[in-house]
Amino acid sequence: MDYTRGYTASYYAMLLDPVSWKETERIEIISGSISNKATGMKQSASLKVRDFDQTSEHWLRIYMDAQQESDVDHVALFTGIVSAPKENIEAPVVTHDLECYSVLEPLDMPMTFGDYIPYGMNAGKAIKKLLKPTAAPVDIDEDTPTIEDYIVAEENETNLTMIEKILTAVSTNNVGWQMVVDGDGTIRIRPTPTEPALAVSAVSTDIIESDFTKKRDWFKVPNVYKATSGDAVAIARDDDPTSPLSTVGRGRKIIMSERDVTLSSDEGLAEYAKRKLAEAQQITESASYKRRFIPGVHVGDMIRSSYENLQGEYEIISQNISLTYNGEVQEEVQRLSTQTTSGVEAQPREVWKALVMPDDYALVMPGSKLLLMPVKTISTN
């Protein structure tokens, strides 16, 4: 079926056996929506249905039947755990409001403080072990890299947040790693895509509505970055008068802080602070629009757009699928670029400095405020 052309859609759900993963019972859907995000539990859904058993927890899969002339396609949109928090009785009709949770929900369980993933362990093996509490099938790319440093569980760490730490630790500037969840509930660990999953234009695939919303948020972009590691503090400042993001250009300091920094062997604290400030000062263009649903296009995928007002490569950061007759998706994307899209170079280098000091070197001022006394100044240029 050519999903870039028009089609009509209807929806239903199937209950699943969480052990065998087989479908057991059909549920008719009245209305609903599915939310896909890049962070946290990744997926959730809200449904209104008839004839639902409220006495126990269930696993459920949502399907779309797409029809285009004589072609019919069955596509899994969401799989997860479901509860029925609300029963609506409008005699003689009874309906149920369902809240559906991601297959990742069982991973929201606390780890023991101080547990760690050892360096030298394969990232895929470590993640597979952390995924054991969920019943969902797992597909891990065989080329997952080796973990090069200890990754320690902090207070309130969960299996899910530990997986996110591992993926961040093994992602480099050249190769990133991510976790995605397919519509059938399969959890996949994969490299960040480098080729577009979808290419769109007004000529060849007119699937995006012409109304776009773009935004560039400057307000919370920092011009001071404070990094703490042990008893040392490094502060990177953007004091460049030619930069609209700087302390000079804005006339105020916007501070971003990070504690308990773990450094790589080839990077000092001052260099780390400078790098993190440069990363935080990337003003990224994001856009949102509506399009028709196309299978196999996930949050985390890349799209390439040739629309007049939306040109270039973007990463999908969220999707909201409305269970309507035309398979509508509200999608948000973020431009893929290493440079700011504001037209202004937002990485001034000439005037950055970092102060490194032990916490002991401080004077107590009125009101119990601390005045830090620098013991060494390090140029980050």
Per-domain residue ranges of the chain:
8-102, 106-182, 198-216+284-335, 224-282+351-379
Under 8 Å between Cβ of 310 and 285: no
Round to whole Å and give the CA distance between 82 and 136: 14
Q: Please say whether the beta carbons of 134 and 109 come within 8 A.
A: no
**CA geometry: angle at 195 spanning 192 and 197, to 5°?**
90
Residue with tokens 């609506």: 88
Q: Could you say which DSSP state residue 375 is in?
A: S
Q: Can you state the angle between helices 159-170 and 123-130, rounded to 10 degrees?
A: 170
- Tally Cβ neighbours within 10 Å of residue 45: 24
- In angstroms, the Cα distances linking 294 to 102, 132, 290, 327 are 21, 31, 12, 9
Question: Tokens at residue 378, please?
Answer: 């390090």
Q: For the chain, how far is it from start to end, CA to CA, in angstroms?
A: 56
Please report which helix (H) or strand (E) contains residue 330, including its range.
strand 328-335
Other C-beta atoms lying within 10 Å of the C-beta of residue 34 = 24
Kindly give, in sequence order, each residue whose CB lies less than 8 Å from that of residue 362, ignoring residues fewer than 6 positions away. 370, 371, 372, 373
Q: Does domain 198-216+284-335 have CATH number 2.40.30.150?
A: yes
- Residue 298's contacts (CB-CB under 8 Å, 6 or more residues apart) are 36, 180, 182, 197, 316
Tell me the residue type at 142: E
pLDDT digits (tens), the chain, 381 positions? 888 888 999 999 999 998 899 999 999 999 999 999 999 999 999 999 988 887 788 999 999 999 998 899 999 999 999 988 888 887 778 888 999 999 999 999 888 887 889 889 999 999 999 999 999 999 999 999 999 888 888 888 999 999 999 999 898 767 899 999 999 999 999 999 999 999 988 777 767 877 777 777 778 889 999 999 888 889 999 998 888 888 998 889 999 998 888 776 567 888 888 888 888 887 778 889 999 899 999 999 999 998 888 888 999 999 999 999 988 999 999 888 643 333 333 333 333 344 444 444 333 333 443 334 333 333 333
Among residues 137, 56, 76, 58, the alpha carbon closest in space to that of 104 is found at: 137
For 2-11, give one letter per residue: b (16+ CB within 10 A) or e: ebbeebebeb
pTM, entire model: 0.75
